[in-house]
Chains A and B, each alone.
Chain A
């Protein structure tokens, strides 16, 4: 079958059907699809994300806070004050986060919300998805990361909100994309496949993608593991020095997975010069990863955050570094809990995709059709990618972020706080729901 770019009429028909269908499900005109959802992203969590992405408001009738995974964030809740002590819900409740806490001469960057968008490379997602996320990041004075796939020229229009990622394959890493970046992120590992490198399937490495990656079209592209230039923390320091030479103002972020010694890795990264330590937990998203790795290698983010936070505190450097958590963070409630466990902020990936229609069907890597995501998200298929019009997608993400910021403020005020930074490490405000209580 020849795949061709669809006509305007077909795009209109399909997108209308999809958007109306999502709304019909999210607003309760029809029940949740019987096959929707899993333990981490339940049907209600997916539908509530669709609801927020459509309306900008949290839903009244759906659980928008937790999944059903029987552990981690799903067993934590906040110990809210009595209603009489709540702070009034207002925009004065600050959700701002400083990313440069070293006090050096580099960029002073604050984001308006305590989260930014995680790396999804061009190739693993369509240009529409990438640009929508970036344009939404601009609206929120936040960021997205390029992921490891290069820097499409379209991104130039929002370069102040784009983090350039340098990963082990160095795909698309150019001097000018380092120079353009306010933040440069070194990706050592990814939570969903820690220690395994990356793999872009041939089918997704079309002409444009291959060009950006300096490769040949429709050839599988591997990112090896690990950096072949890194044997030690000292070598890691050399990496950061290299970036500093090319762009002296850029903040340096180090993205690592969550092994047993993640606390040591974090401290090593700090002393090597990192401004941001980005922990990516084992239950994080991916375009494609071995199932055995997703489930088994490295620890979930909920368990890594306190370990690293406490260690940085003990080392006396906690206030000089920004600790960012990702990997299985789904909701505003998850983010607030991550911060209470010790993170400064979070990175979202899957949540953005769910906001745009992802049903978590796991066919992103191509599936039997070989065409990638049937929703047009994790694909560069010339027909399917048209199902995600940019303007629609930017508005969906904007709405979703509005609802999440509202909920973040709601949590803060019910705890008597008026600034998200006051929540960091406040495990005393959390409560664990014992297993019996939920059985």
Chain B
């Protein structure tokens, strides 16, 4: 109580409170405390498109067929305009000045009423240009979802049920659990606001040792929190322009997360700050001293002497980026042995390690390895690769990560287009909109983060989990479709297991 009073800055009145004034006084102090309280929220706001995705549907109307039809109707309905002018489309595709003679296909939502009503002269086709966006992993569906999320900042809601395949590879093969009655709060749907999405970055030692003076012995644990379990990774391929870096810098500050930026860019652009993670090559470890404001610096690869060199010149936490390439497990062990507090694990952009394993298995292996060694809380695991949908965030955390790092979603949130392969980070060729306005771009990225955070809240709320930190490694709150199939279809002729 005293602490709260101090924190609230309230003045403690002299002497004892009388019974009469007690209620008024405690109500006043309660109000004062409540007013100080700030609940974390990401402020989203719908923004206009500057480089819209190709439209969903092409609408083709046979002009001769339409003309004949109208002529027939004029005769048949004897000029009754209510009937003659009625149109099949409630979305305005045929409501332009010349109606169906010049349809407005960008308004089409594919209800198909027009082509059912008038099969003789109306066709509605999926737009092949839209279907060709992305690649076999980051599909046009992911890109369209990111585009919508970044535009509106909302959770995408639609009618009718699920339209996709049963389970599927990668993240699609994992389902999340729900609880019929247990909730994060008793406030039902509104209880989601009470769910925490902050995560701790750094090491949480199992115990602290103190010297005779009461000071902590050895390396003092460094730890800080960010408000969402996702950070921005190094922009892949050719995307690391100054403009984009400025946008992820300001967005990460706005929502209180982190952004990885090449150290040379941090220096050149003079953006060293608490929200920036300068990423240095091993050879440049000594240059860590150039970033006095950074809370976390990453070295691109594991090398003990490089970590020592960085530590000798910087007070920041020194993290290490480790690719899922042969021997990654030993590199992880050595880095943790050496006291590295943050490991940033990297799969390719299809979420695969060098051996072809998917990140669900890879993240899980890293997490379990550290648990078996009894030191999981000594290190923060961040992971990247293949995270291109809102559901991939909780699924990665269930697989053992503390936080994920976003790469390609940034490109598509800013209405950029990719050209060619989206597998290797270095090979990504992306084109951001010409003359991209930085305020617009920051709002789009903020919207994406707001939408993904709200979708995370949906998943956590359904499970009845009150903070995302408790989701880490909770395999028991996920269901693997293949395992469920084994349980359900065991003994059925032809079923050989593993979803086959």
Chain A interface residues (CB < 8 Å from chain B): 6-7, 9-10, 13-14, 17-18, 21-22, 24-25, 29-30, 33-36, 38-41, 69-72, 74-76, 79, 168, 188-189, 192, 194-197, 199, 222-228, 230-232, 235-236, 256-257, 259-260, 265, 282-300, 302-307, 327-328, 341, 350, 357-365, 367-369, 371, 373-375, 378, 384, 427-428, 430-436
> Which has the most chain A C-beta neighbours within 10 Å: B155, B158, B459, B489?
B158
Residues in B with CB closer than 8 Å to A230 are 181
Distance of B369 from chain A, by nearest CB (Å): 25
- Asked if B83 and A287 make an inter-chain contact with CB atoms under 8 angstroms apart, the answer reads no
Distance of A425 from chain B, by nearest CB (Å): 11
Which chain A residue has the least Cβ–Cβ distance from B123? A34
> Which has the most chain B C-beta neighbours within 10 Å: A21, A224, A228?
A21
A226 and B183 contact, Cβ closer than 8 Å, known pairs A291-B157, A363-B111: yes
A225 and B188 contact, Cβ closer than 8 Å, known pairs A34-B124, A35-B110: yes
Grouping DSSP codes into helix (H, G, I), strand (E, B) and loop, the A interface class, with mixed when no group exceeds half, is loop
Question: Is B274's beta carbon under 8 Å from chain A?
Answer: no
A39 and B164 contact, Cβ closer than 8 Å, known pairs A195-B178, A290-B455: yes
- Asked if A195 and B160 make an inter-chain contact with CB atoms under 8 angstroms apart, the answer reads no
Residues in A with CB closer than 8 Å to B172 are 295
- Asked if A307 and B91 make an inter-chain contact with CB atoms under 8 angstroms apart, the answer reads no
**Which of B6-14, B27-35, B114-122, B415-423 sits within the interface?**
B114-122
Q: List 6 A-B contacts (CB under 8 A).
A: A289-B158, A295-B162, A364-B158, A367-B91, A369-B90, A434-B495
A435 and B500 contact, Cβ closer than 8 Å, known pairs A35-B110, A293-B458, A361-B110: yes
Residues in A with CB closer than 8 Å to B178 are 189, 194-195, 257, 259, 297-298
Could you say which of A74, A195, A224, A295 contacts B463, with CB atoms under 8 Å apart? A195
**Which of B40-48, B344-352, B404-412, B480-488 sits within the interface?**
B480-488
- Asked if B180 and A226 make an inter-chain contact with CB atoms under 8 angstroms apart, the answer reads yes
Interface string of B426-470 (1 = CB under 8 A from A): 000000000000000000000000000001001101111000000
The 9 A-B residue pairs whose C-beta atoms are closest, nearest first, are A364-B159, A71-B166, A224-B188, A195-B462, A195-B178, A38-B163, A432-B495, A21-B116, A432-B494
Residues in A with CB closer than 8 Å to B157 are 199, 288-291, 365
Question: Is B113's beta carbon under 8 Å from chain A?
Answer: yes
- Asked if B110 and A25 make an inter-chain contact with CB atoms under 8 angstroms apart, the answer reads no
Known: A39-B163, A236-B181. 19 other contacts (CB 8 A): A21-B115, A21-B116, A33-B124, A35-B115, A36-B112, A40-B164, A196-B458, A226-B188, A231-B181, A257-B180, A288-B159, A291-B156, A292-B156, A292-B459, A297-B462, A363-B158, A374-B89, A431-B493, A434-B496
Cα-based distance from A370 to B178 in the complex (angstroms): 31
Distance of A180 from chain B, by nearest CB (Å): 27
Residues in A with CB closer than 8 Å to B477 are 260
A225 and B183 contact, Cβ closer than 8 Å, known pairs A40-B161, A71-B167: yes
